[in-house]
């Protein structure tokens, strides 16, 4: 692996010197990474890189040239991409640059041996997507194609969909944050219905789907036997669309993760999800953050979890659970043997609801991640969680941030954190730089708690250096 991060103008020169040293040592590298250059990799540098690649006698497995401000004008299409493809690489990442349709023309002759192609956060439009589609027509290797955060509209998506009809290799397609509407979704629905489809992940978040975009998806899902992850965050989905999708997913035996974050499904949509969870035991993670869900929808979801032993993660952050919703989920947490992650941040949960949840965790032996930040967490709540942490040895990540904890609550947490044998990550008070709450914990105590957590994590890492093998990631992430 040759990796040039933050080297700027010296990156290409460093690569040439490094290759010369390898030549004398009769050695070689197989993975090239040049990312986050503080200044653009402009034409002269890229020409040196192209010339180096053309004379490099060994095959490359992967290349990552992310966030380097590379543009179409910097010989990308005519020289750089062909030079990389000639090395029969399997993975190419060039996201976070400024390449557009001209660069994509290099893929028209074929995608070669590529199995992964990531071109997100660039300036690709329909024409560029059509060029990639022409390369896809004869390709039998590509498994991951990610084109998120570009300017691809319905024509480009339709071209990709046409190329994928009958494709039996692509398993992940990322089209988030483009200009896709209902018309483009119709093409994707045809792909999902094709008997040869093996697509397991479809990322459509931050496109304008609405009802008429959800309709072809709902018609395709009962006929699909491959899709496992459906990403529909911020796609203008309301209650009616949610009911439509849930009824379709209920007839599907494969989908296990659904992300509906940042829509407007409301209580009616939440009840439709609850009904799905009661009858469909394939769903393992569901994202419902920022969806205007109130007490009626929350209580129905909690009731559904009583009869569901498959769900491992649910994100309900930024809704309006209030006390009744918190009490409903506290009852679930006290007995659930399968739930691994729950996000309840910013839900107007009062102190009594926080206390009920902390009490439930004393008896819970499954939950690993809890985010209850931005609720009414006072010193009383901090003391409640201090008692919980002495009894609970399952939690690995806990957030009590942006509450109203003062030094009094922090003093109660310190000995509990020392005694706890599982917690690796802990956020508290208003210590985050993005916090809207004033910082009410003294620097001394914040430093003491942080020191305890560093020590705990170091100790736990020695026992389990790879916690991801045993812990469950959150079903959805707050950061875009």
56 or 10, greater pLDDT: 56
Spatial contact of 56 and 88, defined as CB atoms under 8 Å apart: no
User: What residues contact 401, with CB distance under 8 A and at least 6 apart?
Assistant: 373, 374, 427, 428, 429, 430, 431, 432, 435
Using the predicted structure, report yes or no on whether residue 6 has a pLDDT greater than 50.
no
Q: For residue 280, what pLDDT band results from cuts at 50, 70 and 90? A: confident
Q: For residue 15, what pLDDT band results from cuts at 50, 70 and 90? A: low
**Arithmetic mean of pLDDT over the chain:** 88
Using the predicted structure, report yes or no on whether residue 416 has a pLDDT greater than 80.
yes
Using the predicted structure, report yes or no on whether residue 2 has a pLDDT greater than 50.
no
Q: How much is the average pLDDT of 203-232?
A: 97
Q: Report the C-alpha gap between 32 and 35 in whole angstroms.
A: 10
Note the pLDDT of residue 478. Answer: 38
Spatial contact of 231 and 262, defined as CB atoms under 8 Å apart: no
Can you name the residues that pair with 202 across neighbouring β-strands?
Answer: 173, 230
Q: Report the C-alpha gap between 69 and 442 in whole angstroms.
A: 43
Using the predicted structure, report yes or no on whether residue 376 has a pLDDT greater than 90.
yes
Out of 334-343, 370-379, 394-403, 460-469, least confident range: 460-469
Note the pLDDT of residue 110. Answer: 83
Q: For residue 476, what pLDDT band results from cuts at 50, 70 and 90? A: very low
Nearest CA to 297 out of 274, 263, 329 is that of 274
Note the pLDDT of residue 136. Answer: 94
266-279 and 295-306 helices cross at what angle (nearest 10)? 0
Q: For residue 29, what pLDDT band results from cuts at 50, 70 and 90? A: confident
H helices present in 119-181, as ranges: 126-136, 154-164
Prediction pTM value: 0.89
Token readout for 332 is 């679930």
Q: For residue 74, what pLDDT band results from cuts at 50, 70 and 90? A: low
Q: Report the C-alpha gap between 251 and 223 in whole angstroms.
A: 9
Element at 425 (helix H, strand E): strand 425-427
Nearest CA to 285 out of 250, 314, 265, 317 is that of 314
Element at 335 (helix H, strand E): helix 322-335
Note the pLDDT of residue 461. Answer: 86
Token readout for 287 is 């994202």
**How many angstroms from the chain centroid is the CA of residue 466?**
20
Give backbone dihedrals phi and psi of 475, rounded to 5 degrees, phi first.
-65, -30
Note the pLDDT of residue 10. Answer: 53
Out of 79-88, 452-461, 466-475, least confident range: 466-475
Q: What is the pLDDT of residues 303-349, one digit of tens each?
A: 999 889 899 999 999 999 999 999 999 999 999 999 999 999 999 99
Q: What is the pLDDT of residues 130-176, one digit of tens each?
A: 999 999 998 899 999 999 999 999 999 999 999 999 999 999 999 99
Element at 385 (helix H, strand E): helix 379-391
Note the pLDDT of residue 8. Answer: 43
Using the predicted structure, report yes or no on whether residue 115 has a pLDDT greater than 80.
yes
Q: What is the pLDDT of residues 84-113, one digit of tens each?
A: 888 889 999 999 999 999 999 999 888 989
Q: How much is the average pLDDT of 42-49?
A: 75
Spatial contact of 60 and 91, defined as CB atoms under 8 Å apart: no
Nearest CA to 392 out of 372, 419, 415 is that of 419
Spatial contact of 91 and 114, defined as CB atoms under 8 Å apart: yes
Q: Report the C-alpha gap between 11 and 27 in whole angstroms.
A: 20
Note the pLDDT of residue 69. Answer: 84
User: What residues contact 352, with CB distance under 8 A and at least 6 apart?
Assistant: 323
Note the pLDDT of residue 59. Answer: 82
Using the predicted structure, report yes or no on whether residue 79 has a pLDDT greater than 50.
yes
Q: How much is the average pLDDT of 358-385?
A: 96
Q: Report the C-alpha gap between 450 and 463 in whole angstroms.
A: 20
User: What residues contact 117, with CB distance under 8 A and at least 6 apart?
Assistant: 91, 92, 107, 111, 132, 142, 144, 145, 146
Spatial contact of 49 and 80, defined as CB atoms under 8 Å apart: yes
Spatial contact of 219 and 182, defined as CB atoms under 8 Å apart: no
What count of other Cβ atoms lies within 10 Å of the Cβ of residue 81? 22
Spatial contact of 74 and 46, defined as CB atoms under 8 Å apart: yes
Note the pLDDT of residue 216. Answer: 97
Note the pLDDT of residue 236. Answer: 97
Note the pLDDT of residue 44. Answer: 74
């Amino acid at each position: 692996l040759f990796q040039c991060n933050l080297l700027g103008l010296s990156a290409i020169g460093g690569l040439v010197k490094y290759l010369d040293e390898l030549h004398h040592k009769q050695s070689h590298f197989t993975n090239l990474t040049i990312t986050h250059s503080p200044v653009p990799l402009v034409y002269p540098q890229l020409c040196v890189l192209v010339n180096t690649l053309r004379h490099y006698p060994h095959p490359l497995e992967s290349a990552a040239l992310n966030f380097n401000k590379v543009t179409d004008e910097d010989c990308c299409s005519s020289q750089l991409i062909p030079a990389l493809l000639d090395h029969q690489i399997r993975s190419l990442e060039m996201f976070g640059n400024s390449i557009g349709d001209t660069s994509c023309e290099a893929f028209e002759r074929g995608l070669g041996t590529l199995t992964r192609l990531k071109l997100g956060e660039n300036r690709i439009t329909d024409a560029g997507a059509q060029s990639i589609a022409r390369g896809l027509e004869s390709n039998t290797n590509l498994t991951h194609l990610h084109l998120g955060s570009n300017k691809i509209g319905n024509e480009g998506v339709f071209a990709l969909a046409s190329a994928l009809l009958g494709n039996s290799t692509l398993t992940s397609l990322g089209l988030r944050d483009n200009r896709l509407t209902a018309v483009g979704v119709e093409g994707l629905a045809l792909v999902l219905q094709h008997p040869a489809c093996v697509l397991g992940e479809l990322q459509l978040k931050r496109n304008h789907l609405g009802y008429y975009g959800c309709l072809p998806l709902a018609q395709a899902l009962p006929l699909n036997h491959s899709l496992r992850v459906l990403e529909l965050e911020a796609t203008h989905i309301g209650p009616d669309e949610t009911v439509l999708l849930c009824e379709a997913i209920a007839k599907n035996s494969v989908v296990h993760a659904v992300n509906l974050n940042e829509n407007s499904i409301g209580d009616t949509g939440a009840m439709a999800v609850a009904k799905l969870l009661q009858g469909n035991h394939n769903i393992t993670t569901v994202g419902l953050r920022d969806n205007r869900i109130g007490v009626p929808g929350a209580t129905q979801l909690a009731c559904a979890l009583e009869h569901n032993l498959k769900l491992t993660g649910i994100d309900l952050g930024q809704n309006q659970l209030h006390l009744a919703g918190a009490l409903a989920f506290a009852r679930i947490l006290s007995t659930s043997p399968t739930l691994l992650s729950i996000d309840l941040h910013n839900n107007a949960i009062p102190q009594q609801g926080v206390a009920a949840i902390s009490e439930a965790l004393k008896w819970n032996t499954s939950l690993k991640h809890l985010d209850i930040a931005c609720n009414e967490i006072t010193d009383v709540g901090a003391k409640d969680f201090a008692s919980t942490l002495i009894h609970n040895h399952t939690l690995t990540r806990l957030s009590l941030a942006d509450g109203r904890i003062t030094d009094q609550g922090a003093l109660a947490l310190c000995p509990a954190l020392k005694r706890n044998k599982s917690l690796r990550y802990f956020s508290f008070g208003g210590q985050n730089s993005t916090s809207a709450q004033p910082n009410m914990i003294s620097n001394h105590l914040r430093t003491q708690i942080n020191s305890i957590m560093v020590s705990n994590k170091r100790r736990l890492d020695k026992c389990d250096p790879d916690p991801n093998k045993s812990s469950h990631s959150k079903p959805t992430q707050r950061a875009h």
